[in-house]
Amino acid sequence: MTLFKRLTSRLIILFVIIFVTIAMTLLWFVGNSSRSFEQQATQALHEELAAHMLVESQILRFGEIDPAALEHTFHNMMLLGPAFEIYVTDTEGKVLAYSADESKIKRKQIDLTPVKEFLNSNVQFPLVGDDPRHQSRQKIFSAASIYHDKALQGYLYVIIGSELEDEIIANLTSNKILNDTLVIVIAAIMFALFIGVILIWLITKPITELTTSVLNYQEQQLWQKGLKMALLKNNTSWTSSIEEVQLAGVIENMSINIANQFEQLKDKDIQRRELLSYISHDLRTPLSSLTGYLETWQTQFSKISPQESAHYIEVAHRNALVLNGLVEQVFELAHLETGSVEIHREPIAVAELAQDIMDSFDLRAKEAGVTLDVSPKDSSIQVDADIAKLERVFGNLVSNAIRHTPPGGNIVIRFSTVTFNGQDKVQISVQDSGIGIAKDQLPRVFEAHFRASNKVDSETGNAGLGLAIVKALLALHHTDIKVESEERKGTCFSFYLPQYRLF
């Protein structure tokens, strides 16, 4: 049953049905029209036949047959050959006399409508009338009205193409030449059918191959091996249509995308597992320190001095803060990656915001011996962004910069307005004169939990999540961050935000 569901089989079946129907219709039409043409010619040729016969003899007088005249007419008829049969009818169509054997006559009444039509001057050939030798058959004829003393007596009705002729034609049909012709015609039809079937098979072959390749790709799950579908090499043969080549191209591209996305998902999955194990490790260190100090304080409480007691509590508290910071960062990153975080854009005087951030880091900068600056201090530059998220971005970048800049260094947040693709943007960069990052590690600094070999730990502990959070926050603003760095010279993180303009 599946055979009939295949495209090729369906097309072949459809083709065969249409082809055979057309061939049969054509044969029938040609046969019929040649028969009709032949009848038309024969009848036209013998149009005057009946009239000519009547000229010589007066068959009917006062509705009565004159046997001698009839005999004479039939005799003349015989001379013309067996192709004609003569009937004499009265004015109502009743057959009064005939040239044939009595036993062969099947009806003695004929319909006179075609006869009257025949006698009309505008007659159209071929015109058929009842054949008295058959219950229902009709044949071409010639007819003439029989008058006596200007009164209509009846009709002379001559059937053209007698029964004898029919027999001869029937015999001829089984004739060898006709049979041979038929065989040749059937052979030609079969050949055309064969060629048609082969062409259909050739045309549908690329689609069949395409389907097989796609099924194979699916069954073997080749995308899991990062393989793309190789369809085009099979589909660029001359039998492939433009549409099939295009389809193959589209499917190939789709398979490349599927394989790539599968790879990305796999990578993401691995990264996630790694992150989870790193984070649990990061959490374990401050947690065990916290519980360790608290337990010691609990057991030693009565024996130690108040100063030592305060020290234990202070260390435990510091570890609790580290834990708190880590947990908050992990939550923040996880939250950002859900894709459900929305931003609320508003016009921000970005230099003022940067100055506020710098002020909040003032103490830490003084401790680290670095200077903080914002350039230019132009409060007219406004960006269209989410203020809380932008604060977070600046906070992470500046805290990184302070940690990685030795005393005597400086950190500057710079702004410049640029226009590209017809859009006004503000380029924002956080630049430090710190220790820099090794070239080979630069591409990885935005990965969650990646910490370069230059890393400097702060008191509150670092999990390497800060830059991943910055990148995710900027992605919400549909912008990306890039980093340039030179070891022992400094690092510069920069990104663009849309400039806010009132007009």
Ligand X SMILES: Nc1ncnc2c1ncn2[C@@H]1O[C@H](COP(=O)(O)OP(=O)(O)OP(=O)(O)O)[C@@H](O)[C@H]1O
Least CB distance from residue 246 to Mg ion, whole Å? 50
* 353, two tokens: 């915001």
The nearer residue to ligand X, 95 or 398, going by C-beta atoms, is 398
**What length is written for the chain?**
503
Decide if residue 437 touches ligand X (CB under 6 A): yes
* 83, two tokens: 């192709």
The nearer residue to ligand X, 435 or 474, going by C-beta atoms, is 435
The one of Mg ion, ligand X, none whose footprint includes residue 452, by CB under 5 to 8 A per kind, is: ligand X
The one of ligand X, Mg ion, none whose footprint includes residue 73, by CB under 5 to 8 A per kind, is: none
Least CB distance from residue 243 to ligand X, whole Å? 51
Among 319, 382, 400, 405, binds Mg ion (CB under 5 A): 400
The one of ligand X, Mg ion, none whose footprint includes residue 329, by CB under 5 to 8 A per kind, is: ligand X
Q: Is 99 helix (H, G, I), strand (E, B) or coil?
A: coil
CB-based contacts of 499, cutoff 8 Å, min separation 6: 381, 382, 383, 384, 417, 424, 425, 426
Instruction: Give the count of beta carbons closer than 10 Å to the beta carbon of residue 118.
Output: 22
Residues 473-502 that bind ligand X (CB under 6 A): 491
DSSP string, 147-206: EETTEEEEEEEEEES-HHHHHHHHHHHT-HHHHHHHHHHHHHHHHHHHHHHHHHHHHHHH
Q: Near ligand X by CB under 6 A, which window of 45-53, 140-148, 366-374, 446-454?
A: 446-454
Give the x-and-dash track for 449-468 against ligand X (CB under 6 A): -xxx-xx------xxxxxxx
* 481, two tokens: 């961050």
The one of Mg ion, ligand X, none whose footprint includes residue 255, by CB under 5 to 8 A per kind, is: none
The one of Mg ion, ligand X, none whose footprint includes residue 451, by CB under 5 to 8 A per kind, is: ligand X
* 110, two tokens: 């004929």
Among 259, 333, 445, 473, binds ligand X (CB under 6 A): 445
Give the x-and-dash track for 385-414 against ligand X (CB under 6 A): -----------x---xx--x----------
Instruction: Give the count of beta carbons closer than 10 Å to the beta carbon of residue 244.
Output: 21
The nearer residue to ligand X, 386 or 432, going by C-beta atoms, is 432
DSSP state of 82: T
* 383, two tokens: 């960006």
Least CB distance from residue 399 to Mg ion, whole Å? 6
Q: Is the torsion defined by CA of 55, 58, 60, 62 positive or negative?
A: positive
Q: Are 382 and 350 in contact (CB under 8 A)?
A: yes
Distance CA 193, CA 331 (A): 72
Give the x-and-dash track for 344-383 against Mg ion (CB under 5 A): ----------------------------------------
Decide if residue 466 touches Mg ion (CB under 5 A): yes
The one of ligand X, Mg ion, none whose footprint includes residue 142, by CB under 5 to 8 A per kind, is: none
Decide if residue 116 touches ligand X (CB under 6 A): no
Backbone angles phi, psi at 255, to 5 degrees: -65, -35
Decide if residue 461 touches Mg ion (CB under 5 A): no
Q: Are 451 and 440 in contact (CB under 8 A)?
A: no
Q: Are 157 and 116 in contact (CB under 8 A)?
A: no
The nearer residue to Mg ion, 162 or 400, going by C-beta atoms, is 400
Strand partners of residue 99: none
The nearer residue to Mg ion, 400 or 485, going by C-beta atoms, is 400
- With CB under 6 A, what is the number of residues at the site for ligand X? 24
The nearer residue to ligand X, 96 or 468, going by C-beta atoms, is 468
The nearer residue to ligand X, 263 or 486, going by C-beta atoms, is 486
The one of Mg ion, ligand X, none whose footprint includes residue 454, by CB under 5 to 8 A per kind, is: ligand X
Least CB distance from residue 429 to ligand X, whole Å? 12
The one of Mg ion, ligand X, none whose footprint includes residue 244, by CB under 5 to 8 A per kind, is: none
Q: What interhelical angle do 387-403 and 466-476 show, nearest 10?
A: 150
Among 228, 432, 433, 473, binds ligand X (CB under 6 A): 432
The nearer residue to Mg ion, 203 or 456, going by C-beta atoms, is 456
Q: Which residue is nearest to Mg ion (CB)?
A: 466
Least CB distance from residue 430 to ligand X, whole Å? 8
DSSP state of 126: S
Residues 320-339 that bind ligand X (CB under 6 A): 329
Q: Is the torsion defined by CA of 176, 179, 183, 188 positive or negative?
A: positive
Tell which residue, 470, 501, 483, 488, has the closest CA to residue 381.
501
Distance CA 452, CA 383 (A): 31
The nearer residue to ligand X, 112 or 354, going by C-beta atoms, is 354
CB-based contacts of 85, cutoff 8 Å, min separation 6: 98, 99, 100, 133, 158, 159, 162, 163
Q: Near Mg ion by CB under 5 A, which window of 33-41, 105-113, 376-384, 462-470?
A: 462-470
* 155, two tokens: 């009709």
Residues interacting with ligand X, by CB under 6 A? Answer: 329, 396, 400-401, 404, 432, 434-437, 445, 450-452, 454-455, 462-468, 491
Residues interacting with Mg ion, by CB under 5 A? Answer: 400, 466
